[in-house]
Amino acid sequence: MTNLIDDPKILAKPGLIFKVGNFDTEYTAGVKTKKEAEKLLDENIEELIKIQNVLYADNRHSILIVFQAMDAAGKDGTIKNVMSGLNPQGTQVYSFKAPSEMELDHDYFWRTYRCMPQRGNIGIFNRSYYEEVLIVRVHPEYLFRQRLPSVKKIEDVNDSLWAQRYRQINDMEKHLSENGTIVLKFFLNISKEQQKRRFLRRIDDPSRNWKFSSADVKERQYWDLYMHAYGEMLTHTSTEIAPWYVIPADNKWFMRYAVSNIIVNRLSKLDISYPNLPQEELLRLSEAKKLLQDE
């Protein structure tokens, strides 16, 4: 199986400085057609189903998959297509919108930390705590709603505050890793031109109107600021423990395959197995088998 984990056009290698514009949104890693990508995706889904069964039975690790992207990049569709076939009993998806008043009365990790996957489970975050260094960085006035002691005026929102948040995020992900959670982070990287095309399709197609909000176009006006915020995020929070993968998102068929490829290749390295029953349990199984055969 091709392994995209170390592909330099996808991996945001820890320790480097990144600009989003340096990543090709149309890159396909040698996969030439949609049909080919869909076949590879199907193969990866089958493998992921097998891995999930062992992960659940082993019950020592959990998987946290984080998706971040600009609007219309395809987060929902990627989650739907890549995770199809998984056992819902061991999979949870959380979509994080604007924080509620209760959530704002806690630290910014609170609402996401409550949703962390338990052992044996796969948790998927559609947006995450990374919004706190993305949309909040583009709109620093949002910090006033958090009533932080250190932020009383807009001048208090400075590089030192963002450096503090990057450190906090890295520390939190290190804590998760040390306690058995594998953190996989995907930035679905769509071009501005492709986002425009998808917005127009949503407007022109009545069946897609519900996906569109006028707020999406308003946020598009801040594109350059978002690209800077994403670049800073990749630079400061892509770590050896939890690196970022910048997934080309202009071709949805490649994007979905690439995500599945990285998940399967990463999870296949886990030291997991079906539990071995103690001798007394094996004896009970043997006795039960005999009773059934003697009926």
pLDDT digits (tens, 9 = 90+) for 113-131: 999 999 999 999 999 999 9
Dump pLDDT digits (tens) for 4-22. Answer: 999 999 999 999 999 999 9
* Domain definitions of the chain by residue range: 11-293
- Best CA proximity match to 48, nearest among 82, 76, 80, 7: 82
Strands of the chain, DSSP E = 11-12, 62-69, 91-95, 122-126, 181-189, 244-248
CA-to-CA distance for 214 and 224, rounded, in angstroms? 19
What number is the average pLDDT over the span 255-271? 97
- What local confidence, expressed as pLDDT, does residue 1 receive? 59
- What local confidence, expressed as pLDDT, does residue 263 receive? 98
- What local confidence, expressed as pLDDT, does residue 295 receive? 85
Global pTM reads: 0.95
177 token code pair: 């890793």
- Quick check: helix, strand or coil at residue 157? coil
- What local confidence, expressed as pLDDT, does residue 282 receive? 87
Query: In which band, very low, low, confident or very high, does the pLDDT at 237 lie, cut at 50, 70 and 90?
Result: very high
Q: What is the mean pLDDT of the chain?
A: 95
**Given the structure tokens 């020592």, which residue do they identify?**
60
Residue 267 pLDDT > 80: yes
| Helix 252-267, helix 34-58: angle, nearest 10 | 30
Dump pLDDT digits (tens) for 65-90. Answer: 999 999 999 999 999 999 988 999 99
The percentage of residues in the chain with a pLDDT greater than 90, rounded to a whole number, is: 89
For 11-293, CATH gives 3.40.50.300
> Phi and psi at residue 278, in whole multiples of 5°?
-65, 160
- What local confidence, expressed as pLDDT, does residue 187 receive? 98
CA-to-CA distance for 247 and 69, rounded, in angstroms? 10
The percentage of residues in the chain with a pLDDT greater than 70, rounded to a whole number, is: 100
294 residue type, one letter: D
Dump pLDDT digits (tens) for 162-218. Answer: 999 999 999 999 999 999 999 999 999 999 999 999 999 999 988 888 888 888 889
